Amino acid sequence: MHHDFWHQRWQNQQIGFHQGEINPFLLAHFQALGLQAGQRVFVPLCGKSLDMHWLLAQGYQVVGAELSQLAVDAFFTELKLAPEITQSGPLRHYRTEQIEILQGDFFALMQGQLGSVDAVYDRAALIALPDEMRKQYVQHLMSITQTAPQLLISFEYDQSLVPGPPFSVSKTEVSAHYEPHYVLTELASTHQEKGMKGQYPAEETAWLLRPR
């Protein structure tokens, strides 16, 4: 997707992708990663997700990446935090004691800017990208995180019925992207009769990805 698409969505508050509650798969399955409080979790394409509030409340260090400055500013406003803001190459680096967000183009984020992470939580990044960008995303994510373990949530529906985002990413595609590098475990899957835009059947799946 072009940057202008996402900037316009945030500008117009067309953010149906922003969940108004913590993702149930996060609550049920994050412990499968085996992390301890204080370890560092990366949330790509994070928006102003309430899931990050939950991760912070559990005592994790959180680092996000997000294109929209409006989303990042809203996130810190909602938490009543005043981050230190510095420039890191083409990205703006927002930082408090427990959370950092790197604002700008995800593909411009380098491993040296991100630093080491203990796990990745991907609820809305892979499914936010069209087919032609997903392979690039996966390769870049593995590069900058040094193939850190992941809790990944995928979303599948009949793409011919309605265009994304979120885009339909099948279980077969998830395996094709990640199996060369990770051992994949399907943790849970739920069928939602009207899961896509409240109209179309969809299946949401939680995956544990552990490096080979």
Tell me the pLDDT tens digit for each residue of 109-122.
999 999 999 999 99
Contacts by residues 138-146 (CB-CB < 8 Å, ≥ 24 positions apart): 138/177, 138/178, 140/106, 140/107, 141/44, 142/181, 143/111, 144/109, 144/110, 144/111, 144/114, 145/42, 145/111, 145/114, 145/117, 145/120, 146/111, 146/116
pLDDT on residue 18: 43
In the predicted model, is pLDDT for residue 1 greater than 80?
no
Tens of pLDDT, residues 166-201:
999 999 999 999 999 999 999 999 998 888 888 899
In the predicted model, is pLDDT for residue 20 greater than 80?
no
Cis bond before residue 166 (omega within 30° of 0): yes
pLDDT on residue 163: 85
Tens of pLDDT, residues 71-94:
999 999 999 999 999 999 999 999
C-alpha span between 152 and 139 (Å, rounded)? 15
Tens of pLDDT, residues 44-63:
999 999 999 999 999 999 99
In the predicted model, is pLDDT for residue 153 greater than 60?
yes
Q: Which residue has the higher pLDDT, 3 or 108?
A: 108
Q: What dihedral do alpha carbons 36, 142, 67, 43 form, nearest 10°? A: -20
Work out the mean pLDDT of the chain and round it to a whole number.
91
pTM value?
0.92
